[in-house]
Amino acid sequence: MDVASHRQVDTLRRQHKAGIARYGDVGLSPDAFATAVRACIKRRLDAVGLDATSDRVTAALARLCGADLYLAQACEAGCAEAWSALDRLYTPRLLGLAIKQGADRTAAEDLVTALLADLALPSGPKNPGNTLIGTYRGTGSLFGWLAMILVRRIAGAARRMRPASLDVAACSEGGTVADGARSDPARSIVDRETTLVLERALRGAWDTCTPREQLALVLKFRDERAHRWIADVLRVGVPRVSQLLAQALAKLGTEARQRLPDGIDPAVFAEAAVATRNLLATLDVTTAPTPARRDRGGAR
């Protein structure tokens, strides 16, 4: 092994230890971490047309946020402890950011829950085989990467709430340009087929969720209850509700990922994913009995 290779191994070991020091041992071995990191670097270099030479890999390793990449790659590998750590450590910070950006508490909780759930879903044809969190490359902090996605979603939600101008409305009869795009018959067929695939995955993955996770999902998406109301029903804190929902949606997303067709359009997938989450509102399933509620006078 040459000097550069020794340096790379030492760097990877330090980063793996740094990840454990920050997040705990979440189940990603040093060898699995090293393999995942090298693959990340190779994809980055390939994207800009550069060969993954020893010097370039060594330099890239030295600049990585290794501890954060450890957590992200553990999540990508399906380590349950990693998803729990991600939710526990990042949900409060992301909630604070969403509220600072102007979202009310309920909207902020919904946005953050959706973001954490989507991290377990396929990222699209540009990154085949990767979930969304698997596209995090460690070039900046994990929180900064998550914050960028969240802020973009908040901005997108704000734009969708604005009234369409007369010029935009005139582009399609009775709707906006986006409405016209969604009326494309071929696109609609793909949407329906994708939604059916995801629906089957959802039903197949339901039994992988614990009774408490199932109940949290049903209360959230079928009964449209707020997180504080669900916390009262389950007799847990509000952060625990977010954790249960994130864990459950991650399980459903992992199953969906295994069943999705190759080369799916990310825009189509995004619409289908929303439809699949909404499907929880109509699932005919049996959940655990509802615990006694501590009524605070507000249900929703």
Most confidently modeled range among 82-96, 174-188, 269-283: 82-96
Greater confidence (5 vs 280) lies with 5
Question: Mean per-residue pLDDT for 122-135?
Answer: 70
Alpha-carbon torsion, ordered 190, 154, 114, 121, to 10 deg: 50
- Is-contact 204 255, C-beta < 8 A? yes
Q: Could you report the per-residue pLDDT of 83-97, keeping only the tens digit for each?
A: 889 989 999 999 999
Task: Count the neighbouring beta carbons within 10 Å of the beta carbon of residue 162.
Answer: 7
Mean pLDDT rounded to a whole number for the chain: 74
Distance CA 196, CA 299 (A): 33
Cβ–Cβ under 8 Å, residues 11 and 17: no
pLDDT at 287 over 70: no
- Whole-angstrom Cα distance, residue 77 to residue 203? 22
CA-CA distance, 18 to 57, in Å (whole number)?
Answer: 19
Q: Are 70 and 23 in contact (CB under 8 A)?
A: yes
Indicate if the pLDDT at residue 53 is higher than 80.
yes
Is the model more confident about 36 or about 167? 36
